[in-house]
């Protein structure tokens, strides 16, 4: 590999507020960073204190955790035997308004660590005592007090509680959150609220939220008949694509197949399950087993007992082996290392012979690796770009399921690019260009790439011990990102164990953030499968593998698109592209309308006709509700002129145009995938 010089300085990450907020609990902001909190954030931060003040007045034994501002507003976490419900909100809000009217000063003070600890211990505020430990030695321990309420807090705040306008505050919901976000810690009750400078701005925001709710993909999906869930017969998290949603799936797949064909990909097809050995070899078992559906057991009773005995024996031998890894002498059982290895291999062969366990695949890579292994490979075959719309199954925890965005069966726009180290940068750049192409087609301007890198201190533990490959691939990835001017942040220590990765985050129109695509470098798993190609020098080498899924999964991507477009898809994607509406059902009008329908359909336009007796107003209302992209209204005037009257969904009538012109325009718009 040629060692091109790379910029040494870390790129300036273009920060995103949502992302920063999400990290805030993990990475402490410096005092300086906090000082830069803007006016609205300061206001919300103070509101969190006012909320805690009010809660303590009503429930004096509430234990406090933290109360930061967020992009949406603020929250405060409490531990309390009373369960908060929305019915408590008016009472709490009333008390908060009182606090603002008391116009208390937010007073800052500095305490020593011992004073602070003594103070919170005297109050029994155990979470606060723990939080004290987060503050690095040498950093000032500051407190803010308003009225009777004292909190460990770096600030900053507004000057007085009176700066918060009572009409600008609203409590939103009560939820739960683990202390420090760790599920092993106690669960606290979190009260979410929001605050604005005044009532008008708050009302505006509330209206916006109501609008956003209408864009929820679950709601629009049901309205438009795109998909359904049947948790009773099919199962939770298993989406059924209805005919209209099936159109979206087909169109996306067509787009991806065309794009990938032009980029030199080949397509493969693999089964939805594989034997246990696949996942012990790939390394996904046992670490990933919790996310996989439980295995299908194919053994008879007796065989299963035998397999269990063999597995026990194997575990014992492996334990012996581990115990003697540093010793040259024989173990207590009197076996040498060679004997042990031999015995283990023999048992594994017997277990494999028994077979018996199949797993639904949670990822496509192992199958693709076996396709790579199915034929001898030469360096001349590389790069080999193997694509598949593979269906994967992941047993997501029940609480994680969320409409189409989080499901248990998913179709991935997957591909694995096998290449040499020399080819890596070009391949990676091409993948990157593909992302940008898609962003353009879908008019995505709000996105961010998360570039996850390794921590050199944890090589051999969390990350495979290939320091040179890590360095090279990370440098190349970083370089491509900088060159392309893409909006990205670098996240240290979050790479996969087998290589650095990029996740593409997007924000749907209603502000939900999703990881839609992923792009991972893998220089470990091909080795585990013993994949090699014959190089120029006649030696066998292990290929690098790039795992990429620019459209992520159909499920999540379409869920995202529904919210992105609010169901108003561009013509090429629209499930029903054109509907022809006649004024009445009389001849020769209907014959004329049918001939237009036939012409469009012969050009593969998804067109329907509404030739019944309903009044035209009613037909239009139906079509608008169904979000039909283009309506062609046909009356006597159009028939005489050989014209059609065009109406576009949510854009209204566009006037009468010659039939041939309209047909040609529709066909061209679809072919060009106009936005």
Partner RNA sequence: GCCGGUGUAGCUCAGUGGCAGAGCAGCUGUUUCGUAAACAGCAGGUCGUCGGUUCGAACCCGACCACCGGCUCCA
Q: Using the rule CB under 7 A, is 81 a contact of RNA?
A: no
Which positions from 147 to 166 touch RNA by CB under 7 A, shown as an x/- string? --------------------
Q: Using the rule CB under 7 A, is 670 a contact of RNA?
A: no
Query: For residues 249 and 139, what is the distance between their CA atoms, to the nearest angstrom?
Result: 54
Part in contact with RNA (CB under 7 A); list of ranges 92-100, 266-274, 431-439, 642-650: 642-650
Minimum distance of RNA from residue 634's CB (angstroms): 7
Query: For residues 70 and 528, what is the distance between their CA atoms, to the nearest angstrom?
Result: 44
Minimum distance of RNA from residue 649's CB (angstroms): 7
Q: Which of 159, 175, 298, 333 touches RNA (CB under 7 A)?
A: 175
Minimum distance of RNA from residue 564's CB (angstroms): 15
Query: For residues 270 and 279, what is the distance between their CA atoms, to the nearest angstrom?
Result: 15
Query: For residues 530 and 516, what is the distance between their CA atoms, to the nearest angstrom?
Result: 31
Answer yes or no: are the C-beta atoms of 409 and 360 closer than 8 Å. no
Q: What are phi and psi of 388, to 5 degrees?
A: -160, 140
CA distances to 37, 426, 552 from 487, rounded to whole Å, are: 23, 20, 19
Q: Which is nearer to RNA, 386 or 631 (CB)?
A: 631
Q: Using the rule CB under 7 A, is 645 a contact of RNA?
A: yes
Q: Which is nearer to RNA, 521 or 634 (CB)?
A: 634
Sort strands 447-452 and 409-419 into parallel, antiparallel or unpaired: unpaired
Beta bridge partners of 174: 191
Per CB under 7 A, which of residues 186..205 are in contact with RNA?
Answer: 187, 189-190
Tell me which H or E stretch contains 58.
helix 39-58
DSSP result, 466-490? -HHHHHHHHHHHHHHHHHTT--EEE
Q: Which is nearer to RNA, 42 or 556 (CB)?
A: 556
Query: For residues 615 and 38, what is the distance between their CA atoms, to the nearest angstrom?
Result: 56
Q: Which is nearer to RNA, 99 or 549 (CB)?
A: 549
Q: Using the rule CB under 7 A, is 342 a contact of RNA?
A: no
What is the DSSP-derived secondary structure letter of residue 139? S
* Count of residues in the chain: 675
Q: Using the rule CB under 7 A, is 536 a contact of RNA?
A: no
For the CA atoms of 675, 516, 526, 473, the dihedral, rounded to the nearest 10 degrees, stands at 80
What is the DSSP-derived secondary structure letter of residue 551? T
Which positions from 83 to 122 touch RNA by CB under 7 A, shown as an x/- string? x-x-------------------------------------
Q: Using the rule CB under 7 A, is 402 a contact of RNA?
A: yes
Q: Which of 35, 236, 467, 642 touches RNA (CB under 7 A)?
A: 236
3-state secondary structure of 577: coil
Sort strands 169-178 and 74-79 into parallel, antiparallel or unpaired: unpaired
Q: Which is nearer to RNA, 290 or 537 (CB)?
A: 290
* Secondary structure string (H, E, C) spanning 225-255: CCEEECCCCCCCCCEEECHHHHHHHHHHHHH
Which positions from 566 to 585 touch RNA by CB under 7 A, shown as an x/- string? -----------------xxx
Task: Order the strands of the 488-491 sheet from edge to edge.
Answer: 266-267, 384-393, 409-419, 544-549, 513-522, 501-507, 447-452, 488-491
Q: Which of 637, 671, 672, 675 touches RNA (CB under 7 A)?
A: 637
Part in contact with RNA (CB under 7 A); list of ranges 92-100, 122-130, 261-269, 635-643: 635-643
Minimum distance of RNA from residue 602's CB (angstroms): 24
Q: Which of 231, 461, 493, 591 touches RNA (CB under 7 A)?
A: 231
Q: Which of 152, 360, 549, 561 touches RNA (CB under 7 A)?
A: 549
662 CB neighbour count, 10 Å cutoff: 21
Part in contact with RNA (CB under 7 A); list of ranges 123-131, 179-187, 327-335, 345-353: 179-187
Sort strands 107-111 and 409-419 into parallel, antiparallel or unpaired: unpaired
Q: Using the rule CB under 7 A, is 649 a contact of RNA?
A: yes
Q: Which of 12, 183, 322, 537 touches RNA (CB under 7 A)?
A: 183
Minimum distance of RNA from residue 329's CB (angstroms): 42
Query: For residues 144 and 547, what is the distance between their CA atoms, to the nearest angstrom?
Result: 50
Answer yes or no: are the C-beta atoms of 227 and 242 closer than 8 Å. yes
Q: Which is nearer to RNA, 101 or 637 (CB)?
A: 637
Q: Which is nearer to RNA, 99 or 477 (CB)?
A: 477
Q: Which of 406, 564, 579, 606 touches RNA (CB under 7 A)?
A: 406
Q: Which is nearer to RNA, 1 or 616 (CB)?
A: 616
Q: Which of 5, 60, 138, 181 touches RNA (CB under 7 A)?
A: 181
Per CB under 7 A, which of residues 588..627 are in contact with RNA?
Answer: 612-618, 620-622, 624-625
Q: Which is nearer to RNA, 351 or 412 (CB)?
A: 412
Q: Which of 44, 157, 170, 556 touches RNA (CB under 7 A)?
A: 556
Q: Using the rule CB under 7 A, is 396 a contact of RNA?
A: yes
Q: Which of 340, 344, 517, 607 touches RNA (CB under 7 A)?
A: 517
| Closest of 643, 506, 510, 482 to residue 567, by C-alpha | 510
Q: Using the rule CB under 7 A, is 286 a contact of RNA?
A: no
Q: Which is nearer to RNA, 215 or 314 (CB)?
A: 215
Binding-site size for RNA (CB under 7 A) equals 80
Percentages helix, strand, coil for the chain (3-state, rounded to 5) are: 40, 25, 35
Minimum distance of RNA from residue 255's CB (angstroms): 17
| Closest of 187, 652, 668, 218 to residue 406, by C-alpha | 218
Q: What are phi and psi of 319, to 5 degrees?
A: -65, -45
């Amino acid at each position: 590999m040629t060692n091109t010089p790379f910029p040494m300085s870390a790129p300036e990450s273009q920060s995103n507020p949502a992302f920063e907020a999400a990290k805030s609990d993990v990475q402490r902001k410096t005092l300086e960073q906090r000082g830069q909190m803007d006016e609205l954030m300061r206001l919300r931060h103070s509101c969190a204190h006012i909320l805690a003040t009010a809660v303590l007045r009503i429930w004096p034994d509430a234990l406090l955790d933290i109360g930061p501002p967020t992009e949406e507003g603020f929250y405060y976490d409490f531990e309390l035997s009373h369960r908060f419900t929305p019915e408590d909100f008016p009472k709490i809000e009333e008390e908060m308004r009182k606090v603002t009217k008391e116009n208390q000063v937010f007073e800052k003070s500095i305490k020593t660590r011992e004073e602070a600890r003594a103070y919170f211990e005297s109050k029994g505020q155990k979470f606060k005592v723990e939080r004290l430990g987060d503050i690095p030695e040498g950093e000032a321990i500051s407190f803010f007090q308003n009225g009777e309420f004292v909190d460990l807090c770096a600030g900053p705040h507004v000057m007085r509680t009176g700066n918060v306008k009572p009409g600008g505050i609203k409590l939103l919901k009560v939820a739960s959150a683990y202390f420090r976000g760790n599920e092993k810690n106690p669960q606290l009750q979190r009260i979410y609220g929001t605050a604005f400078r005044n009532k008008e701005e708050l009302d505006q925001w509330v209206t916006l939220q109501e609008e956003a709710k209408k864009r929820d993909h679950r709601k629009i999906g049901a309205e438009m008949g795109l998909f359904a869930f049947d948790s009773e017969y099919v199962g939770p998290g298993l989406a059924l694509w209805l005919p209209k949603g099936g159109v979206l799936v087909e169109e996306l797949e067509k787009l991806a197949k065309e794009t990938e064909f032009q980029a030199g990909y080949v397509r493969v097809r693999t089964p939805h399950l594989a034997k246990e050995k696949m996942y012990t070899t790939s390394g996904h078992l046992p670490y990933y087993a919790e996310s996989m559906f439980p295995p299908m057991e194919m053994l008879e009773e007796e065989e299963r007992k035998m397999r269990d005995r063999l597995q026990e024996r194997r575990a014992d031998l492996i334990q012996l082996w581990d115990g003697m890894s540093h010793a040259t002498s024989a173990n207590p059982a009197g076996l040498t290392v060679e004997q042990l290895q031999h015995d283990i291999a023999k048992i594994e062969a017997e277990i494999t012979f028994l077979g018996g366990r199949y797993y639904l695949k949670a990822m496509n890579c192992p199958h693709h690796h076996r396709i790579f292994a199915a034929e001898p490979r030469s360096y001349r075959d590389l790069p080999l770009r193997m694509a598949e719309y593979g269906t994967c199954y992941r047993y997501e925890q029940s609480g994680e399921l969320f409409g189409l965005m989080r499901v248990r069966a998913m179709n991935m726009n997957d591909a694995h690019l096998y290449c040499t180290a020399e080819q890596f940068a070009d391949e990676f750049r091409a993948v990157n260009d593909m992302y940008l192409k898609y962003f353009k087609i879908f008019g995505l301007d709000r996105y961010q790439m998360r570039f996850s890198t390794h921590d050199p201190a944890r090589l051999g533990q969390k990350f495979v011990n290939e320091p040179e490959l890590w360095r090279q691939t990370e440098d190349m990835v970083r370089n491509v990102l900088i060159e392309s001017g893409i909006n990205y942040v670098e996240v240290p220590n979050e790479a996969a164990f087998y290589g650095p990765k990029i996740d593409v985050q997007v924000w749907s129109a209603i502000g939900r953030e999703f990881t839609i695509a992923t792009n991972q470098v893998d220089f470990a798993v091909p080795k585990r499968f013993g994949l090699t190609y014959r190089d120029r020098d006649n030696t066998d080498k292990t290929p690098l593998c790039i795992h990429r899924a620019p459209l992520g999964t159909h499920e999540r991507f379409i869920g995202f698109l529904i919210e992105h477009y609010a169901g108003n898809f561009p013509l090429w994607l629209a499930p029903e592209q054109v509907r022809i509406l006649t004024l009445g059902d009389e001849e020769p009008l209907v014959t004329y309308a049918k001939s237009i329908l036939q012409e469009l359909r012969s050009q593969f336009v998804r067109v329907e006709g509404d030739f019944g007796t309903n009044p035209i107003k009613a037909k239009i209302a139906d079509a608008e509700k169904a979000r039909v992209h283009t309506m062609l209204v046909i009356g006597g005037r159009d028939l005489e002129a050989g014209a059609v009257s065009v109406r576009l969904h949510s854009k209204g009538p566009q006037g009468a145009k010659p039939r041939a012109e309209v047909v040609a325009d529709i066909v061209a718009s679809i072919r060009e995938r106009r936005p």
